[in-house]
Amino acid sequence: MLPATATLPEVIVLPATATLSMVRVLAVTDSLGTARTLPGAAWVSVNSVNSVKGGIDLGGTKVQAVIVDERHDVVAEAKQPTPTEGGPPEVVARMAATLAEAAAAAGVSTEELDGLGVGSPGAVDGETGMVGEARNLPGWDEPFAMGPALEEAVGTRTRLGNDVQVAVDGEFALGAGRESRSLLGVWWGTGVGGGIILDGKRWVGLGAAGEIGHIVVKQGGARCPCGRRGCMEAYAGRAAMEIRARKLKKKGHHTKLFKIMEKRDRTRLQSGIWARALEAKDGMAIALVDRAVEALGTGVASAVNVLDVETVVIGGGLGTRLGEPYVRRIEAAMLPHLFVSDRPPAVLGAALGDLGGAIGATLLV
Ligand SMILES: [Zn+2]
């Protein structure tokens, strides 16, 4: 509020990234753009606009950073590739550099951020900032104190969470689940991760709840990357789908998948490659994605039978890339397995898109 001495405050526009807690207003501009000096100087509190936070989504192939204002709107972003060597110190350095790039685009330094939240793969200890079992990250052979190292590098308080969990939290608070009290997030990507919100609160069980990828959809079925058999992820995870595709190709089956991969200078069948192969009506891609959709329908419906949530949100690299038509197909594949089939949950695609993981991470601080 302006003090009474300021007589003509029309609109004072400050950048969302203003970092001063008080600004001395000596002149204002009226609606015609004419500058007018205020009688006496007015001190205006801009506390309400000085809170900008950072968020990082750390993935196996890219580091995505965002800067959000207090309404969680993204004011700047930056993306850099995840280093392929150098181990944890190199990964932390890249994360700090990506955040600094985003912060610079927002007109602040990383030290001026009101905190940084990070979604990391692997087993994440939010208290100590330790990250272990992050097999997608280079040279991450044993647990590493990512939180303290990153906090040191960026100069602002830093909190860590599991990548899928923070993305699900983001959808619950700001995205597809914001009207719901209970939600099951299904993150369809390299693996199939999940997150559970019950009665408005995140449910982590004893720490590992939400591992929906390892719901068994077929006893004695396909080998899962986790070493067990018949898990949903063994059919629907992108890594498992790629192993299957390579095996079929070796046996002489025809597919465009690997030609598309080489053309795009990739070494892995990333989501975009599956999407292109589907568009090109590649028989193997269609068959493997159909198989994935069936497995997802079976596994997600089984989880819904236990949890009876209002909303299921489908996200993750493949889920987001394939989008709405495949969300509808998963919904249809769930129906035969739903115990209460006349009251199915809403099945929605993740609404925050590619930046959802990084935006969700900002909710940690
Ligand atoms: Zn498994």
Cα(191)–Cα(234) distance, integer angstroms? 9
**In the predicted model, what is the mean pLDDT of residues 25-45?**
50
Task: Report CA(226)–ligand 1 centroid distance (Å).
Answer: 4
Is the pLDDT confidence value at 38 over 80?
A: no
Is the pLDDT confidence value at 42 over 90?
A: no
pLDDT category at 181 given cuts 50, 70, 90 is very high
Task: Report CA(277)–ligand 1 centroid distance (Å).
Answer: 26
> Strands 158-162 and 116-120, how do they pair?
parallel
Angle at 76 between CA 32 and CA 174, to 5 degrees: 100
Task: Extract the tokens encoding 156.
Answer: 């602002």
**Angle (deg, nearest 10), helices 283-307 and 238-250:** 150
Q: Cβ–Cβ contacts within 10 Å for residue 173, how many?
A: 15
Identity (one letter) of the amino acid at 161?
A: G
Question: Which position has the token pair 């949950």?
Answer: 345
Task: Extract the tokens encoding 77.
Answer: 């972003």
Per-residue pLDDT, 179: 94
Is the pLDDT confidence value at 173 over 70?
A: yes
Per-residue pLDDT, 138: 84
Between 226 and 359, the more confident residue is 359
Identity (one letter) of the amino acid at 302?
A: S
Per-residue pLDDT, 197: 97
Task: Report CA(191)–ligand 1 centroid distance (Å).
Answer: 9
Per-residue pLDDT, 48: 43
* Percentage of residues of the chain with pLDDT beyond 90: 78
Task: Report CA(348)–ligand 1 centroid distance (Å).
Answer: 25
Bridge partners (DSSP) listed for residue 131: 124, 144
**In the predicted model, what is the mean pLDDT of residues 232-261?**
97
pLDDT category at 58 given cuts 50, 70, 90 is very high
pLDDT category at 208 given cuts 50, 70, 90 is confident
Angle at 177 between CA 176 and CA 181, to 5 degrees: 165
Per-residue pLDDT, 32: 46
pLDDT category at 25 given cuts 50, 70, 90 is low
Smallest CA-to-CA distance from 77 within 102, 40, 108, 106 is with 102
Is the pLDDT confidence value at 319 over 70?
A: yes
Task: Report CA(281)–ligand 1 centroid distance (Å).
Answer: 29
Per-residue pLDDT, 362: 98
Helix runs in 280-352, H state only: 283-307, 316-322, 324-334
Task: Report CA(188)–ligand 1 centroid distance (Å).
Answer: 14
Task: Report CA(227)–ligand 1 centroid distance (Å).
Answer: 6
Residues, Cβ < 5 Å to ion ligand 1: 214, 224, 226, 228, 231
Task: Report CA(65)–ligand 1 centroid distance (Å).
Answer: 30
Task: Report CA(220)–ligand 1 centroid distance (Å).
Answer: 12
Angle at 107 between CA 361 and CA 37, to 5 degrees: 130
Task: Report CA(200)–ligand 1 centroid distance (Å).
Answer: 28
Identity (one letter) of the amino acid at 360?
A: G
**In the predicted model, what is the mean pLDDT of residues 131-152?**
92
Cα(256)–Cα(125) distance, integer angstroms? 41
Task: Report CA(224)–ligand 1 centroid distance (Å).
Answer: 5
Task: Report CA(212)–ligand 1 centroid distance (Å).
Answer: 9
Task: Report CA(215)–ligand 1 centroid distance (Å).
Answer: 7
